[in-house]
Amino acid sequence: MQNSQPALRIFACMKTRVDGRCSCGASGASEIILALRKELERRGLSAGHIDVHPSRCLDRCQDGPILLGFTGSVAESVTPPRKLDEELLRRPKVCFEHVSVDQIPAIVDRLLRTRLMNRSTHRRRSPMLELVLFLAVVSSAFQYCRAQQDTSRALSLREGVQLVLSQNPNVQIAMLNSSLAKQEQHRALAALLPHASVSASEAIDRTNNQSTTGANGYLPQHEGPFQVITAGTQFNATVFNAALLEHYRAEQSAHAASLADAKAVREQMVQLVVNQYLLCLRLNSTVSSDEAQVALAQRLFDQATHLEQAGAGTGLDTLRANQKLKRQQQALIVAREEAQTALYELVRLLNLPPSTTLTLSDSEEYVNHSFPEQEATIEAAYAQRPEMIALRCRVEAAKRDLASARGERLPSISLSGTWNEQGNRPDNLIPTYQYQAGLSIPLFTGGRIRSEVTSSTLRIDQLKQEEQELRNRIAQDVKTATARLDAALQEVKVADDGLNLAKEEVTQARDRFEAGASDNIEVVTAQDTLARAYDDQISALFKVNQAKADLARSVGHIEITYEK
């Protein structure tokens, strides 16, 4: 039997954020629910009077823990999303913010007063309306939680490469261009293949014999009108046409060039993503280094403060330590801002939703100081770089275009014919046909062929010059990337030694200051040296990883390298 009195439903937010930000779950919401239920049981209140349910996020994390109460018969499994249904919001409700366990008895007293005040205004709703509200709230909660889950994701470098190859618009445009070149190749092939068609027609003819034959008085003036019914097939085929054949071969080479262009775009986008990912890792390392520097500056400031209070230090030392702390805090703020904006650029490159929050999962590989040797030769780069492959295909296509232009001077042979059933009535149709072979020999084209030959020759010369320039640029890329990688590897070793020395300098300067052997000028100087040492190590690691990516790009296999 349904209770005629209005029930009071209490929802307690249980949202816990994995990134450590403020949330109701992290503020003790589970303890609040347990204490509230125990207080209700102690007062003898059954579930039909006041019910307590956990809820998903109410989008008020800064006010948590939060209790939100509604009067009316609401399904027990309902958990309100961030934005509640308007019909549900019109119900009388109570809200408690920053709830603690010791406030539970007072909250229960207010809940009881709220229930009594709303008893006279309560109206029973139809079961159908309750079902609609239930489905609307549950659906909204599900969509909201799914959207919340989709806005954050961990990303490895390999996953970033796969995403940019599958989602980046530039890569998709390059693939579409290669598909268009493939259709051009099919169109050129179609000109070489036989063509056939089927047709049917019905006509009424009347002819003037005198105008047609020139006879006057010997034949009737006209014939007809009479009906003509025709149905049959027509065909034509190219037996030999050197120009069309070479044009088809040129389109084949053009298609191969478009595929190489698409490969070059893929390599370029992979390089951009790898460089941006490495930049984000570098900036994250800078943030971690600055956080460590802030913590160290805070400890040194506390030490200076204690020594001043103990009479062993001066106020100038404390002011100097405090000023150093503020500088480190400012550097940390700038580093965090740069790291965040770099992630935004990575989201754009990967064509992800703007609301996506990325977390880089390959930070351990970035700080790894073991680097495998990479061999790269200029000859291998000449053979593997997609830009070089595309240019060679274009040279071949230009040569085919030249052969096609010259082929227009040669004779061409073709066949054509028709076969029809023809008559003036359906019952007297008879076969009619016509077959013919054609030979075409160009005699004079007004200089068109000569102009096309000259244009094709100039195009070949232009492409050969571009090929030579590309070879020089590839050789420079390989040698530059190799030299940078060798220098960066040496720089990492020096930076590691410098960092260890800077740490030792800070330790000794701090011990001397604590012992009263010197003021904290040595400590502040050692801090600056340590900060520069951290920056040098981070910069050296970034240079090594970027040089590895540049070397892989210079030989044309960066996609293969980073997809593993």
DSSP letters for 503-557: HHHHHHHHHHHHTTSS-THHHHHHHHHHHHHHHHHHHHHHHHHHHHHHHHHHHT-
**Which residues have a Cβ under 8 Å from the Cβ of 425 and sit 6 or more positions away?**
227, 229
Biggest CA pair distance of the chain: 145
Inter-residue contact 61 to 17 (CB < 8 Å): yes
- Give 3-state DSSP helix, strand, coil % of the chain, rounded to 5: 65, 15, 20
Please say whether the dihedral angle defined by the alpha carbons of residues 493, 498, 499 and 503, taken in this order, is positive or negative. positive
Query: Phi, psi at residue 16, to the nearest 5°?
Result: -125, 120
Quick one: which H or E segment has residue 69? strand 67-71
Inter-residue contact 533 to 292 (CB < 8 Å): no
Residue 561 to residues 270, 548, 557, Cα–Cα distance (Å): 10, 10, 6
Residue 534's pLDDT is what? 85
Structure token digits, residue 502: 């800077």
Q: Which amino acid is at 494?
A: V
Quick one: which H or E segment has residue 35? helix 29-42
Residue 2's pLDDT is what? 42
Structure token digits, residue 424: 């003036």
Inter-residue contact 247 to 452 (CB < 8 Å): no
Residue 82's pLDDT is what? 43
Structure token digits, residue 206: 């009347």
Our CA angle for 431, 432, 438, nearest 5°, is 140
Cα of first residue to Cα of last residue in the chain, in angstroms, is 65
3-state SS, 193-237, equals CCEEEEEEEEEEEEEEHHHHHCCCCCCCCEEEEEEEEEEEEEEEE
3-state SS, 270-311, equals HHHHHHHHHHHHHHHHHHHHHHHHHHHHHHHHHHHHHHHHCC
Inter-residue contact 260 to 387 (CB < 8 Å): yes
Per the listing, tokens 């992630």 go with 343
Quick one: which H or E segment has residue 413? strand 412-423
What is the distance between the alpha carbons of residues 279 and 375, in angstroms, rounded to a whole number? 24
Residue 307's pLDDT is what? 79
What is the distance between the alpha carbons of residues 433 and 66, in angstroms, rounded to a whole number? 92
**Which residues have a Cβ under 8 Å from the Cβ of 57 and sit 6 or more positions away?**
13, 15, 23, 24, 81, 82, 144, 145, 148
What letters, b where the CB count within 10 A reaches 16 and e where it falls short, cover 312-345?
ebeeebbebbbebbebbeebbeebbebbeebbee
Residue 120 to residues 1, 94, 214, 531, Cα–Cα distance (Å): 20, 17, 113, 70
Helix 242-309, helix 169-190: angle, nearest 10 = 170
Residue 282's pLDDT is what? 87
pTM for this model (two decimals) = 0.63
What is the distance between the alpha carbons of residues 149 and 57, in angstroms, rounded to a whole number? 12
Tell how far CA 233 is from the center of its chain: 53
**Comparing C-alpha atoms, which of 48, 67, 57 is closest to residue 23?**
57
**Comparing C-alpha atoms, which of 165, 256, 264, 164 is closest to residue 474?**
264
**Torsion of the alpha carbons at 281, 285, 286 and 291, rounded to the nearest 10:** 140
Q: Tens place of pLDDT for every residue, the chain, 564 residues? A: 344 444 566 777 766 665 556 667 666 667 777 777 777 777 766 444 666 766 666 666 666 676 666 655 443 434 444 444 444 444 445 566 666 767 777 777 776 665 544 444 444 445 655 555 555 555 555 554 554 444 778 888 888 998 899 889 999 999 999 999 999 999 999 999 999 999 999 998 888 777 766 666 666 777 778 888 999 999 999 999 999 999 999 999 999 999 999 999 999 999 999 999 989 988 888 888 888 888 888 888 888 888 788 877 788 888 888 998 899 899 999 999 999 999 999 999 998 888 888 888 877 655 555 555 556 688 889 999 999 999 999 999 999 999 999 999 999 999 999 999 998 888 888 999 999 999 999 998 889 999 999 999 999 999 999 999 999 999 999 999 999 988 988 988 898 899 899 888 888 888 887 777 776 678 778 888 888 888 888 888 888 888 888 998 998 888 888 876
Residue 427's pLDDT is what? 86
